[in-house]
Structure 1
Amino acid sequence: MEIDIKQPILDKNDKIAAALRSKLDKHHVYVIDLLASPGSGKTSTILATIDALRDEFNIAVIEGDIASSVDAEKIKDYGIPAVQINTGGACHLEANMISKAIDLLDIERLDLIIIENVGNLVCPTDFYLGENTKVMILSVPEGDDKPLKYPGVFQASRAVILNKIDTMPFFNFNREAFDEAVKNLNPQAPIFPIAATKGDGVDAWAEWLRKQIHAIQ
């Protein structure tokens, strides 16, 4: 006899996430669950997004890592509220963790919360965190074959950010093949090529996000 422990875990998670979503809806807070591999540029993308939108929206960040508070401190140095979650080894964030983190934020004053999930292309896709949308970041050095190897994360994402496009001359990255693979998995997802540390392409991504935030306000 096989015992499926995954479904009860997901059911409990989804109930907490649904309650959290209802709470956030009352305050018109838009939430992104940002998914990516380690080193893809999640934090640099968050900082570039903050630069593009901070004059218009009140933003907070929830940082998920196995250990340390390095990224949360970077966000705080930017003058943005940040809450660090250390999973202690778990490969993803869960709704109960996000609920506790949000209790530490003044959501009545917020328009946008960015969740930086644990660097992983598999586990985080299964867990609803009460977010409005999941967004995937892939960096050019990771290779154009990631949609073929990790289809689930691309299918779960409402938008895809291709980061570090300034490094493309140094890597054998087939942009056409990448775009086609993403579109085959998720035809509705826009792809935003950016170089987060230089600010290249960030305006188009920020404009898309701006429209999503305004839609719930």
Structure 2
Amino acid sequence: MCSHCSCGQPTRTLKLRHSLLERNDTNAERNRERFASAGLLVLNVLSGPGAGKTALLERLARQWDHGPVGVIVGDLATDNDARRLQASGARAVQIQTGDLCHLEASLVGRAFDQLDTTGMELLLIENVGNLVCPTAFDLGERQRLALLSVTEGEDKPLKYPALFQSADAVVISKVDLAEAVGFDRPQALANLAGVAPQARIFEVSARTGAGMEPLLHWLSHQRQGMPV
């Protein structure tokens, strides 16, 4: 379709019909093949900012007893989370996304190039803290793990259903604060059951370690169920 701009020169509008996510999906499949070849269980960890993703991954790195844990960390700026995770024993690589509000498969693939996977069975991708944008982007993961902090309120699954509907498991985090913030546990569980009935639910405090054993057992079971 042609028209004219104010200077009298013809302009042309091109309608792009292919999916904007097509290139990302291609890169995600490439990542998935590489992860499978390395024998890795890979989780895409999603939540809003401040829900406790990094604290949970620190605890997982300390308690996972099947070799070292790898982490690819996405943040708009700083390498603070990668340094925290390295201090907990994880092999961590930081991605600084600048103004990009989510990780993309190509970024994850480049970060994976920097990771020593020797002896590793578990790779966690800590996505940018955002409840909307990351949901649409496949990174090549085998499972999605979403966090819902007790400090965020019981209605987060109702407000952001797409994220929770895409999750294989949901961690209700910071449960040690539940009483202090007046968290309505039955209502939160009902909301999750209504929006994401497929998801396994774990109630965890990364600070105290409460609830970690069922989560670790689930991760170990997922790893054992992978094709060789």
Task: Assess same fold via TM > 0.5.
Answer: yes
> Contact conserved, 2:67 with 2:119, CA < 8 A, in 1?
no
Which residue number corresponds to residue 145 of structure 1? 155
Q: What is aligned with 2:6? A: none
Which runs of at least 4 in structure 1 moved beyond 4 Å after TM superposition? Answer: 1-7
Decide which structure has the larger Cα Rg and report it.
2
CA deviation string 1:44-82 (max 9, x = no partner) = 1001111221x3233111110000000000111123211
Distance in 1 (CA, whole Å) between partners of 2:159 and 2:63 is 32
Aligned to 1:31: 42
Which TM-score applies when normalising by structure 1? 0.94
Distance 1:30 1:178 in 2: 28
Matched-pair contact (CA < 8 Å) for 1:24–1:107: no
Alpha carbons 1:35, 1:124 under 8 Å: kept: yes
Equivalent residues of 2:68, 2:89 under 8 A apart: no
C-alpha distance in structure 2 between counterparts of 1:198 and 1:145, whole Å: 25
Match of 2:186 in 1: 176
Contact 1:31–1:112 (8 Å) recurs in 2: yes
Structure 2 CA distance for aligned equivalents of residues 142 and 14 of structure 1: 31
**Is 1:192 the counterpart of 2:207 in the alignment?**
no
What code does the residue aligned with 2:62 have?
D
Counterpart position of 1:74: 84
Report the structure, 1 or 2, having the larger helix content.
1
Q: Any stretches of 5+ residues in structure 1 without a counterpart?
A: none
- Looking at both structures, which has the greater relative contact order when contacts are Cα pairs under 8 Å and sequence separation is at least 6? 1
Identity of counterpart residues, as a percentage? 39
Q: Distance in 2 between matches of 1:7 and 1:153?
A: 24
SS of aligned partner of 1:64: strand
| Residue identity matched to 1:13 | N
Q: Partner letter of residue 144 of structure 2?
A: K
TM-score by length of 2: 0.89
Number of equivalences: 216
